[in-house]
């Protein structure tokens, strides 16, 4: 295992995953690791607090049932950010009175559970969009508020249970606690438990997302092709043209919203794939490196900030809610937005809330 110095003031080596490169003799701590963790912690906590406040301030965001899962992810990611204060405080020597073994086990378990909630929520979002597009007429009876609440509760319970065997010697749930020397040196991954996690969490979630979004985009492509063919056949007829406009507007919202959610899911798996691959390789005894463990772990944790960033950039209603949230802090923007809204005429051809405002 790497250590940053042969000896410090206490006479014992200080453990740093990044080795002597990130160690500061004057501060007696792993400065590079502390900087990375604190930077991500601030981004994650700030970003997800903004998402939670915007959802409470923008009622239009609640028109989609997926907003419940997105809020669940935001709360889980917020707790990830708060829990990341633990390794930071440990590296700054504020947790010396606590048992290192218990602290790293609890921290690793908590982060694993919270990221499992995010992964399961993304899978449920993809199933929700699949039902909305494949069974639009029966969607309201299949997806009810009561069933949504039950589903969210099951996500939390399942995530908590699937990593619980790690406390009974089954294996290590991940490398989030490797900032602590006991976790990195004494707590080993085991092929059996790693296979258990992949089979019951990673693989089902990934396969569900691939199947549902693949089906969604195939259906949307087929629908668009049929509309184009019908439009070309009856383009000369005025009634046909009006009907095509209606069909196109009807098909766009679900497709656009699915694209937004697909972006969030894609970024999630792009950031988590290096971690999952390293997890499998290290569990099988094929590859082990402290720097790779640190980089892949915190790259995966950075996804807790990327979720809110992607959603804010992709959803127009979310951006409007974000503007309203920060408008009291920037009064000069109120006159700009007011000036843009005044010239808008109100007439029969202008609806107050068109359907397209509910989509990204």
- Going from N- to C-terminal start, the domains of the chain cover 19-326
- E strands of the chain, at which residues? 23-24, 29-30
Question: Residue-wise pLDDT tens for the chain (360 aa)?
Answer: 344 434 343 444 466 776 655 555 555 567 788 888 889 999 999 989 988 888 877 766 666 677 888 889 889 999 999 988 888 887 777 777 888 888 888 888 998 999 899 889 988 988 988 898 888 888 888 888 899 999 999 999 999 999 999 888 788 887 777 778 888 888 888 888 888 998 999 889 889 988 988 888 888 778 777 777 777 776 655 554 444 444 444 445 555 666 766 777 788 788 888 888 888 888 888 888 888 888 888 888 888 888 767 766 666 667 777 777 666 665 544 444 444 444 444 444 444 333 333 333
CA nearest neighbour of 162 among 124, 186, 193: 193
CA nearest neighbour of 272 among 308, 301, 306, 311: 301
pLDDT at 306: 81
pLDDT at 212: 87
For residue 316, how many C-alpha atoms fall within 13 Å in the half-sphere facing its CB? 9
- Supply φ then ψ for residue 29, to 5 degrees: -155, 170
pLDDT at 11: 40
Q: How far apart are CA 232 and CA 226, in angstroms?
A: 10
Q: How far apart are CA 67 and CA 49, in angstroms?
A: 15
pTM, two decimal places: 0.74
CA nearest neighbour of 197 among 164, 154, 151: 164
pLDDT at 25: 59
| CATH hierarchy code of domain 19-326 | 1.20.1070.10
Q: How far apart are CA 19 and CA 291, in angstroms?
A: 8
For residue 23, the SS3 value is strand
CA nearest neighbour of 206 among 116, 138, 286: 116
């Amino acid at each position: 295992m790497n250590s940053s110095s042969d000896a410090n003031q206490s006479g014992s080596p200080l453990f740093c995953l990044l080795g002597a490169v990130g160690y500061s003799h004057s501060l007696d701590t792993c400065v590079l690791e502390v900087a990375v963790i604190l930077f991500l912690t601030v981004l994650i906590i700030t970003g997800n607090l903004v998402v939670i406040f915007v959802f409470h301030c923008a009622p239009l965001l609640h028109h989609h049932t997926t907003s419940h899962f997105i809020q669940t992810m935001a709360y889980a990611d917020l707790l990830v950010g708060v829990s990341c204060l633990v390794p930071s405080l440990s590296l700054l020597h504020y947790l010396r009175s606590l048992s290192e073994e218990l602290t790293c086990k609890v921290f690793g378990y908590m982060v694993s559970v919270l990221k499992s909630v995010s992964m399961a929520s993304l899978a449920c979002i993809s199933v929700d969009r699949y039902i909305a597009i494949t069974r639009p007429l029966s969607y309201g009876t299949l997806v009810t508020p009561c069933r949504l609440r039950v589903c969210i509760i099951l996500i939390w319970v399942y995530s908590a249970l699937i990593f619980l065997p790690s406390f009974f010697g089954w294996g290590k749930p991940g490398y989030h606690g490797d900032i602590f020397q006991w976790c990195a040196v004494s707590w080993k991954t085991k092929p059996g438990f790693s296979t258990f996690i992949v089979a019951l969490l990673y693989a089902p979630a990934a396969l569900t997302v691939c199947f549902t979004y693949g089906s969604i985009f195939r259906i949307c492509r087929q629908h668009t092709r049929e509309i184009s063919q019908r439009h070309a056949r009856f383009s000369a007829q005025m009634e046909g043209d009006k009907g095509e406009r209606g069909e196109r507007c009807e098909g766009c919202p679900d497709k656009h919203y699915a694209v937004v959610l697909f972006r969030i899911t894609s970024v999630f798996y792009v950031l988590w794939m290096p971690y999952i691959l390293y997890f499998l390789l290290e569990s099988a005894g094929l590859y082990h490196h402290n720097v790779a463990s640190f980089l892949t772990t915190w790259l995966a944790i950075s996804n807790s900030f990327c979720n809110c960033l992607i959603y804010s950039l992709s959803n127009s209603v979310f951006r409007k809610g974000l503007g309203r949230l920060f408008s009291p802090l920037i009064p000069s923007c109120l006159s700009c937005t007011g000036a843009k809204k005044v010239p808008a005429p109100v007439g029969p051809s202008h609806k107050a809330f068109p359907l397209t405002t509910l989509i990204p």
